[in-house]
Structure 1
Amino acid sequence: MRLAYVCADPGVPVFGTKGASVHVQEILRAWRARGAEVRLYATRLGEQMPADLADVPVVHVPVPPAPLGTAPGRADRVAARERAQADAARRIAERVVADGADAVHERYSLFSTALAVITGALGVPGVLEVNAPLVDEQRTHRDLVDEDAARAALAAQVAAAERTACVSEPVARWVQRTVAAAGGEAGRVLVAPNGVNVERILPSRDSAARGPDPGPPVVVFVGTLKPWHGVEHLLRARASAATDWHLRVVGDGPQRAFLEELAASLGVEAEFTGAVAPAEVPGLLAGCAVAVAPYPATADAEDQYFSPLKIYEYAAAALPVVASRVGQVPAAVQDGVTGLLVAPSDPAALARAIDALVADPGRRRAMGRAGRRDAVARRSWTAVLDDILADTGLAGADPRGTPRSGSTAPRPSAAGAPR
């Protein structure tokens, strides 16, 4: 099977270090594990090409900058950028049609109708994955001029897709509302949370250790340093901790300078690694004992639409997870079994939970091993893709010609779509 994977989002470097980049790379691996001949079409590449994906054919169709002098006002510049995004997606579709494909899998991006064009021209099945309510995000946090065109593009994509996979219930509900408002139908939507590569991320050394800690255990956070990750609460938790533990912050972002200054003002010695390639993350997790996802509170529960990729990676590393009780997190962390849930934006509660696991090595190691078992049994990217493809024309047989087994049809979800 020849699969065209499309990412027309200029905000996602497919070979970058962002969580979105990891998602793209892992879905590519999952398709290749099924025997598909994958060709990648993207508007932005990035500079962190994984060795095991170096042989994937890549077609780069960048979004060109707006011509100088043609868009004097801010709204005009935004409109020109939106047209450029749509044009890049159109050119990607033309390339896929010219190259030929037996199926297409597209990561949803604003103004793209590539999947609809490709499936219509080639008569092949398509899978659309939706990772965020991009129209709302763009309108709220950036600039959006032609919202009607953005919504119409999504409706066209969903109508053409054999399956639309959303990372969470809130995203699935958003897709259904948006498509309905555009006069379309979204009956083939399912919820498919993020997964983890359980072969690349292996159990931490602490999970197999016995007896007391030889020194202060390492507590880790992995992610982009932006406000919605709540790392400042973790720094304040370390400052008020009753036990001794070393704090490692893996990642980079616009908050880094602020967080380093905050750590210094609190007298907290924290290790900031800066940006790392996804291939380096398993090694950084291997020496840790507890992992943290300190998401802050938000005014609107629908803002917590994300599927917590970091939590699944923590679990694969057999690390107990201390996480805020928000959004989809309670579905990813079994409180008291694979980790501990705490109130969001509460450094004192965060400190107490981490202290409890630092003070009881046997308990935390048992939690970590339970998380690893769950990740292997239910959270692999192979299982994620199998769930997405279940009951579609792509599910019946392995592309290499051997029958597949073990896929389970999704359950109905609260959003009215399969899961």
Structure 2
Amino acid sequence: MKGAYVCSDRGVPAFGTKGCSLHIQEVIRAMRNKGVELSLFAAASGDQCPNDLANVEFHKVRHTKIRDRSLREQSDIRDNDETIRQLSRYAPYEFVYERYSLWSHAGMSYGHQHGLPTILEVNAPLIEEQKKYRSLCDEQAARYISQICFDHADTIIAVSEHVADYLNEFAEARGKVHVLPNGVNVDTIKKRSLPHAQNHKTTIGFVGTLKPWHGVDLLIEAFSLVLRLHPECHLLIVGDGPEKQKLENLVHQLKIDSSVTFTGAISPENIPSYYQQMDIAVAPYPKQPAFYFSPLKIYEYMAAGLPTVSSNLGQINTILTHGETGLLYDAEHPEALLFSLSHLIQNRAVRETLGRRARIEAENKHSWSLRVQSILSLAGVSEVA
């Protein structure tokens, strides 16, 4: 069976290291394991293609480089016609899968025109996100493109309830929306080996892009207080991003440089080795008015058998069960992070129990294989294997 995967977003490199990139890669892997080959049409390829995906049929979605944002928006809209022609050129397909992008309807329109099952994956309320974090010149056009996309989709996958609520504000999407959170590759991310030495230095870890809404500054501040109680601890921050310099400055101001390690950018295939170095994993999301994420990092922490400490925002409450598979604290009181970390540092048996249960839950409920199986089933597409 052959399908087309379309991602026209300039900012999502299919073979990059961002969470969105890993999402694309894992969907392709899980589809392959079920006998489905995907032809990938993407605006950005990235430069970190994993070896096992090197033979994926890849076609570049062409966008003109334009500095002026207003002109670029209109150019990207016009590019839908060429992407549709490109899809026709490499057909046939038995279904079309598209990652929702602000200016694209090409995948959904092509599939609709040819009577194919169309699956739209929506990871964020992109119009609102663009207005808040960047700038949006032609909101009316953005809404119109989204309406075309939702109308031509047969099945719409929302990664969280908040995203589903946003989608259901559009008449074209209602009745098609299904909530399916992100997942994890439980074969790639193995359960970590427990340290044998009782005097083992406790390592607290974070993995992800260093952006303001991840709350790494809150983690660093809490860790500086943890060190006063547990000076033997270490903080391992895995990843890179626009906040890195600011965070390094904060570490220096707090005079905790010797107890904190920044790894910088790490290729996806090397991430699992860093989970092996951690004893506690943290997702310190700060209070936000609209938390629509389905955090990949939490699923990976669970698969690694790590006890996870996280704020209790949005979908996180349904991923982690407090006291069973992790510890949750009120995002409105980030100082509570200190107490959760201190509790786990002092109680190795609790850490091991939480981590063991988290791994089991990741295997039984959150694998990408299960997610893709659900997607294909919802879309009425029969898997081959």
* Residue aligning to 2:366: 379
Matches within 5 A, 1:105-144: 105-144=97-136
* Residue aligning to 1:148: 140
Q: Is the 8 A contact 1:3 1:38 kept in 2?
A: yes
* Structure 2: gaps spanning 5 or more residues: none
1:214–1:90: structure 2 CA closer, same or farther, 3 Å change rule? farther
Deviation at 1:348, TM superposition (A): 3.2
* Structure 1: gaps spanning 5 or more residues: 69-76, 401-419
Matches within 5 A, 1:176-255: 176-177=168-169, 179-180=170-171, 184-206=172-194, 209=195, 213-241=198-226, 242-243=229-230, 244-255=232-243
Give the distance between the partners of 1:164 and 1:185, measured in 2 at CA. Answer: 7
Q: Is the 8 A contact 2:119 2:379 kept in 1?
A: no
Give the distance between the partners of 2:47 and 2:342, measured in 1 at CA. Answer: 39
Deviation at 1:89, TM superposition (A): 3.4
1:213–1:267: structure 2 CA closer, same or farther, 3 Å change rule? farther
Matches within 5 A, 1:24-63: 24-63=24-63
Secondary structure, aligned partner of 2:281? strand
Secondary structure, aligned partner of 1:14? coil
Deviation at 1:328, TM superposition (A): 1.3
* Residue aligning to 2:3: 3
Q: Is the 8 A contact 1:108 1:130 kept in 2?
A: yes
Deviation at 1:111, TM superposition (A): 1.6
Give the distance between the partners of 2:274 and 2:142, measured in 1 at CA. Answer: 40
Deviation at 1:228, TM superposition (A): 0.3
After superposition, what is the alpha-carbon deviation per residue over 1:288-309, rounded to whole angstroms, capped at 9, x for unaligned?
Answer: 11100000112x2xx2000011
Give the distance between the partners of 1:13 and 1:391, measured in 2 at CA. Answer: 27
Give the distance between the partners of 2:246 and 2:37, measured in 1 at CA. Answer: 45
Structure 2 residue identity aligned to 1:295: Y
1:258–1:92: structure 2 CA closer, same or farther, 3 Å change rule? same
* Residue 285 (1) aligns with residue 270 (2): no
TM-score by length of 1: 0.87
Give the distance between the partners of 1:273 and 1:14, measured in 2 at CA. Answer: 22
Would you identify which runs of 4 or more consecutive aligned residues in structure 1 move more than 4 Å? none
Give the distance between the partners of 2:43 and 2:173, measured in 1 at CA. Answer: 28
Select 1:84's aligned residue among 75, 80, 86.
75
Select 1:170's aligned residue among 162, 173, 187.
162
After superposition, what is the alpha-carbon deviation per residue over 1:115-169, rounded to whole angstroms, capped at 9, x for unaligned?
Answer: 2321133221110000000011112221212212211222222222221000001
Q: Is the 8 A contact 1:8 1:88 kept in 2?
A: no
CA RMSD, 1 decimal:
1.5
Q: Matched residues, percent identical?
A: 40
Structure 2 residue identity aligned to 1:87: R
After superposition, what is the alpha-carbon deviation per residue over 1:86-108, rounded to whole angstroms, capped at 9, x for unaligned?
Answer: 23333222111221111110000
Secondary structure, aligned partner of 2:262? strand
After superposition, what is the alpha-carbon deviation per residue over 1:194-236, rounded to whole angstroms, capped at 9, x for unaligned?
Answer: 0000000001112xx56x6332121110011111010011111
Secondary structure, aligned partner of 1:213? coil
Give the distance between the partners of 2:217 and 2:80, measured in 1 at CA. Answer: 38
* Count of matched residue pairs: 379
1:63–1:213: structure 2 CA closer, same or farther, 3 Å change rule? farther
Deviating more after overlay: 89-98 vs 319-328: 89-98
Secondary structure, aligned partner of 2:64? coil
Deviation at 1:339, TM superposition (A): 0.9
Q: Is the 8 A contact 2:214 2:285 kept in 1?
A: yes
Q: Is the 8 A contact 1:318 1:372 kept in 2?
A: yes
